[in-house]
Structure formats: structure tokens, C-alpha cells
Amino acid sequence: MIMERRALLFLAAAASASVLAGCKARSIGLAPAPLIIATGTPGSIYHPVGNAICRLFNLTERAEAGVCIAVSSEGSLANLQRIRSAEATLGLAQSDVAYAAFRGEGPFSAAGPDKELRSLIALHSESFTIVARADSGIHDFQDLRGKRVGLGKSGAGYAVTRDTVLGFYGWTISDFDRLLEVGPAEQNRTLCGNIVDAIIFEAGHPNGLTQEATSECHARLVRVSGPPIDRLLAARPYFVRSFIPGGIYAGNPDDVPTFGTRTLLLTSARLPDDLAYALVKAVLGDFADFRRLHPALFVLKPEDMVPSEAVIPIHPGALRYYREVGLAG
């Protein structure tokens, strides 16, 4: 009898343990998946901007459905690939690169169009930027012909912009005397070390790398304007005319005309409408705080934040918010 009772107690304990284990496993299995934002390298503007978006979203009640996490990445091209493959829920990218991904053009021609790509928020502008040595004789874009140029790595998003600009000037990269493909930090070292005459990249302003180049080796910003740029802006809806404000960098007191793109927060049509709505509301609903999280965001106005449907379709959840607050018809 005693042996039978012990056996029954053992079986009951085992059954209870099994049930508890099952409950624990089920609880873990039902834990909400995080919302991953693919940003950029830690030194880029994308990284703190992505963290700013997550910070505001994670303060909302909607974060119970999954916290937002910003992760570093190689930038626009990589972020769009991650969204397509569902490795990331969200990603930051230049508007021209997003346009190419949606239509399967340029670097995305092999993968084909990503027709599920959707925009959520238009963020800061990124200016096509050329920084040249003061002794190089480079004042305008056309002065780059025959010069030594640091182009940045071909996998970067601004390589798409660069090749588009060259096309409108009727040039190819062979029109430069020497090309050097290096990362952003290495570009400054090659410029200050007189290995190249100028470097080309795309960035929001102010930024630390341009500050470093202008203060450490007295480099100057180069104008990117004229008839070829006028034609480019008329033909491409994802580009906007812009300027780099004078006085924000040492030795560069005047505004420098150029053009650029907008940084877009992108996602997939797979994202539920209520989550898209909550993300946009988290940013625009606390807009004053959002603008203070990075200098590049401070010039933004609420009406600037509505993406252009001429570039990428707006996610229905985001569009619902913009209509509710009177920012979209």
C-alpha cells in the first residue's frame, strides 16, 4: 500500500512538472517578437535616429506587443534587403534607394521589385556632399574632372546617388584621375593625408565626419548646382533641392547649394495597420521631444514628416494617423 501511494505521488509530481513546463514553454512561445529597426553604422546619423524612434515607441502602451530595438547595419541597401527578407521589421533608407528597391532598379535589378515595401515617416534630409582640400582648386562639382576622388564603398546607399549625378553630367567614374573606395572614417584620413583631392558622400548636417575634415585639414564644402542638377531634380521625384548651412563648419561661412534625398522610415505591407499607426503616433505625438534627440531632426516640421507617395506607397496604418491629425487628405 505504501509503495502504491509513493508511486501515485511520484506520478502526480511528474505530471505537475510536465504541466508547469508546458505552461512555461507556452509563455515563452507567446512572448511578442521585438520590432527591429535596421539603422546604420554607430557613427552615422541613422543609428541615433533609429534609437530615438524606438525610445519614443517603447514609452507607449503599444510596446507591450513587442519592444522596439534599433540595430546597426551597413546602411540603406542592407536595410531594404533586411525588410524584404523579414530580418528587420523596419529600416531607414535614402528615398532614391527606396525608390529603386520598390521598382527593382539599379542594385535591386537582380532581386526584382519589392512591391510590399511601404513608407511610414519622412525624416531628415541627406545632402549630397563633396568636401575638398583647400589647395585642390575644386569649387564646383564640374571641377572634380581629372581629380583624385574618394568615392566611399560601392555598397553604400549614396553610391546610387553618385552614379545618378554622374549620368546627368554625362560622366562615368573613369572621368576621375584616381578612385579610392573606403569607408566614411577612412575618407577623412585620405583627404587630410593628401591621398585624394575630394571625398563624396551623402549625409545629414551637421555631422561629426564633416566637422573633423573641415577643422583638421581646413577642407571646404563644394557647390553641387547648375543645369545638370536642375535637370536631375525635374526628372527624379525622390530628390530635393537643398543647401548646407554656412557657419556650421570651420572655414565654411556661406551656404553651399546642393541637392539631396529624404531619410525614410520603411517597412513591409506585412506590418499590421495598428502597429504602423502606433509607431507614427509615437513619433509625431511627442514631436517636440523627438526633434531634440538629434541636431539633424531639429529643423523638421510635422508637415515634413508625411512621405511622398510618388516615391513609395504609404502604409495604410500610417496614412490613417496622418489623416486623423490633418496632415493628409
Residue 245 DSSP code: P
Domains and CATH numbers, the chain: 35-124+262-324 (3.40.190.10), 127-261 (3.40.190.10)
* The residue type at 107: P
Task: Return the sign of the alpha-carbon dihedral for residues 320, 322, 325, 329.
Answer: negative
Q: Name every residue whose Cβ is closer than 8 Å to that of residue 89 and which is 6 or more positions away in sequence.
A: 35, 36, 37, 83, 267, 268, 271
Q: What share of the chain is helix, strand, coil (3-state, %, to 5)?
A: 45, 20, 35
Q: How many CB atoms lie within 10 A of CB 32?
A: 10
Q: Distance between CA 25 and CA 22 in Å, rounded?
A: 5
Residue 128 DSSP code: E
Q: pLDDT-based confidence at 154, cuts 50/70/90?
A: low
Q: pLDDT-based confidence at 10, cuts 50/70/90?
A: very low
Q: What is the pLDDT of residues 41-63, one digit of tens each?
A: 887 789 999 999 999 999 999 88
According to DSSP, the β-strands at 240-244 and 220-221 are: unpaired
Q: What is the pLDDT of residues 218-245, one digit of tens each?
A: 999 999 999 999 999 999 988 989 999 9
Q: What angle do CA 283, 78, 258 make, to 5 degrees?
A: 70
* Least trusted range by pLDDT, from 91-95, 171-175, 244-248: 171-175
Q: Name every residue whose Cβ is closer than 8 Å to that of residue 164 and which is 6 or more positions away in sequence.
A: 96, 232, 236
